Amino acid sequence: MTRHRPDTSHGHGTKRSSVASSGRNRITMANIRRNQDTLLAQNGDQQFYLDRDATSDFESVGSLIKRLGTPPQDLVNYLSDQFAQACKVRADRGITLQQVDLDDWAIDVHGNLVFVGRDDRKVSENPGQRPPVPTDLVAEFRRRLTAPHASLSRRRINGEREATHGKQELPDLLTHQPPDESGEPVFSTAQQARRDQIIAKFTAALEQRFGPEVIAEPNWEDEQKSRVVKLQTLERDRRFNWNLVLGVGTAAAVLGLIWTGIQVNQIRQQRAESTPKTHSQSEPDSTRTVWPIAQKKSRPIEKTDRTRPEIAPENIKVLELSPSSAFSDNRSTSTLSDPLDDVVDVARNTSGTSEQSLPELNGGFELPAPTEQPVDLDLSFSTLDETFLSNIPQPDVILDGASLSMEAKASGDQSGEANRSLGDVLDGDNAEDDVPELPQDTRPTVDRFVDLPPEAKTDLITTIDDLGVAIRRIEFPFDSPIELASAAADGSLDVVDRKTGNPFARLSTDGKSTQFAWLEDAANNGAASQLIHGRLIDENGGTIFLRPSIESNPFALSLDQRRRRPSWTIGAPILPDLTRLEIDLAVPKTIDLAWQNPFNAARPRRGSAVAILNPKDGETVSIAVKMDIECTRKLTCKMHYAYQLGPNMAWWPLTESGFAEHSNLIKTNWEHIEFRRVQAEQDYGSAGIADRKLMKRKMDDIQRIQEQLEQIAERMRMLRSLAVEIETNVTLSMHLYVQWPDSQQTLLRTVTPNAAK
């Protein structure tokens, strides 16, 4: 529907206005008189006039500018030229424009400027006012074409407000603005209220359907171009619902726990019902417990002349041990922990045969399930003295809770791992093969020596002596063709190969110091590589060795596998026939040291040594350390450790993980045997006189196993104390030297810092 209102700017005629959201202002030819002649264009000397229908319409220049923005400069020039020609033609016809209004001009389909306003303003409304000059009209027309439109200015202002105050809401954008120079409509109060109401409803509908973000003004990337917003169809939210997954998972976990609890309860009830009891029929069901518990009996229990250990309720608990906790702090024993301490303490605090009821076993670890029939414990325990203790460290020796079967290990098979020798254990321990080297810091000794440069470095000059003492001769610990040539006129000496007579090095002096330098032929002379093994003798009889002499701190032994391969760099190869290596272990007074396999000092390039360390107060436990030595251009020492819990027991590799596994294995055996002891006491109290004799033998056997476990647990505690003492106070000392006929040339030695030389 099209509405018309009087043209207030001209005072005559009507013009069609639209309130469409795009802001387009189309002026139909119905506002132009049917017989009105309209200037279209001027082509040469001919002018074309068309009589348009009322149904034809053009879009005014003002509407185009509001919709598309300021036109480019070439279009401005083109329209200005056509406007000037049109003004000239109209002036010739006696028609004078009083003012320039872009809404009175349109562009037809051929791109020509067309006047669509009223032609009845031939006379100025003010007779005393002079009509405008055509050049002023053209200038005004050009200014209006190039000047920013008011609506665009409002967009810029709104954009600045968004940058500082946030986005402007859609109702604010749709509210009424006062008419500007472009001729926007002016509404009455009632019309404006009606319009605001429609806008509010429309905005609420948009916000309800698409959310509040759809009514916010979009971020204009190009303010000169309009942006058509196309409403998207309402799509289904296909994002993954993690809340649903979490809820389902939680529900499944709860159901699983409930089902597990029901199954455990049923199993415990079945075990309790299958356990032999002497309850009377009148005894209430509340006296039944999950685990068999010895109850007070009317008849006395036969007592033996021996005592049997019984775990106190507070000692039935989970005993945790970290794999590296036994050796993690090798300099402080206060932080060490071991489950065997708890086993030993429990064993020491146990009382004799108890007639009291044992509380329910709920200490935290899972006890093995009792069987329906009494367990046969006739296992030939006469062979379980040292053989049983030797087999405890093996993982497959863990006593099975259902059968307590140990016949395979208790039969005394001496051909298995239980009878391994120390050499087999140390040679078969390859855990340190992949351990990287641990380089040690070194420092020069007080001996006089010089570090010669490589033979190819002929441009390097090395100071031999800065005392100004003349060099007299050169010596070697073996037969060498190297000698010093007679002094030249400048006092220099040439180092010559006696076989070829060619010099390959030179000793020069300036009266204050003696300097060494290789000659050009040194790299090609085979005798040059022997020079490093020699020594220079000065005129005072002093010795200057031609290779470095270094020292290092003693190496502290460590059970940490990362510190089991120390190395020292000595710079050059050694003379295998003349070099000696002496090694020793410095131990405190609380440890006895015995060398089972001493190191051969005359074979320093490759060899090994084995030392056994025992506590001073006895030989119940032992730790052996094997040192594999390799010496070429550097000295390396790989450490291997093994332990023994008794003089006649087997040796086992000593590692952090192995120690923890061994300790936990003994703890597990203790828990299983203790459970069987409690069960045997319960069965003994409810058995008849004939059955008690057989059960008494079984209880004696259980007690014997417990005593042996107590013994091995005590030895493991002693082993841990010995290991901590070794890490704290035992160090490795060594001395690598070349044996000369009259003295020793030190290549490497370990010495405590600030010690007397």
- 586 by DSSP, 3-state: which? strand
Q: Are residues 631 and 741 in the same domain?
A: yes
Complete DSSP assignment for 478-501: S--SEEEPPP-TTS-EEEEETTT-
Report the share of the chain in percent with pLDDT over 70.
Answer: 61
Least confident of 56-65, 105-114, 730-739: 56-65
Residue 129 pLDDT > 70: no
Q: Are residues 616 and 741 in the same domain?
A: yes
Partner residues linked to 652 by β-bridges? 643
Per residue in 61-74, pLDDT (tens digit) is: 888 888 888 888 88
Q: What is the mean pLDDT of residues 258-265?
A: 90
Q: Are residues 491 and 613 in the same domain?
A: no
pLDDT at 299: 39
Within-domain flag for 330:
no
**CA terminus-to-terminus distance, the chain:** 116
Per residue in 79-95, pLDDT (tens digit) is: 899 988 888 888 888 88
CA dist 677 and 698 (Å) reads 9
Going by pLDDT thresholds of 50, 70 and 90, the confidence category of residue 21 is very low
Exposure of 546 in the CB half-sphere (CA atoms within 13 A)? 22
Residue 364 pLDDT > 60: no
Q: Are residues 458 and 476 in the same domain?
A: yes
Residue 354 pLDDT > 70: no
Per residue in 380-428, pLDDT (tens digit) is: 223 333 333 344 433 333 333 323 333 333 333 444 445 577 888 887 7
pLDDT at 158: 54
Within-domain flag for 239:
no
Q: Are residues 507 and 645 in the same domain?
A: no
CA dist 411 and 519 (Å) reads 77
pLDDT at 376: 33
CA dist 560 and 324 (Å) reads 9
Least confident of 237-251, 467-481, 605-619: 237-251
| CA-to-CA separations, 414 to 380, 407, 428, in angstroms, rounded | 16, 14, 19
- Structure token digits, residue 326: 């036994």
- Structure token digits, residue 675: 């459970």
Q: Are residues 511 and 564 in the same domain?
A: no
pLDDT at 296: 35
CA dist 278 and 118 (Å) reads 125
Within-domain flag for 594:
yes
Which of 129, 147, 165 represents a domain boundary (last residue)?
A: 147
Q: Which residue range(s) make up the domain with 102?
A: 3-147
Residue 653 pLDDT > 80: yes
Tally Cβ neighbours within 10 Å of residue 175. 13
Give burial (CB, 10 Å; 0-12/13-18/19+) of 516: buried
Which of 513, 545, 577 represents a domain boundary (last residue)?
A: 545
Which of 499, 519, 545 represents a domain boundary (last residue)?
A: 545
Within-domain flag for 315:
no
689-729 vs 656-686: helix crossing angle, rounded to 10:
160
pLDDT at 108: 83
Number of domains in the chain: 3
Q: Are residues 80 and 8 in the same domain?
A: yes
Residue 570 pLDDT > 50: yes
- The mean pLDDT of the chain is 70
CA dist 477 and 709 (Å) reads 61
Kindly provide the b/e burial profile for residues 398-415, where b requires at least 16 CB atoms within 10 angstroms of the residue's own CB.
ebebeebebeebbebeee
DSSP, res 231 = P
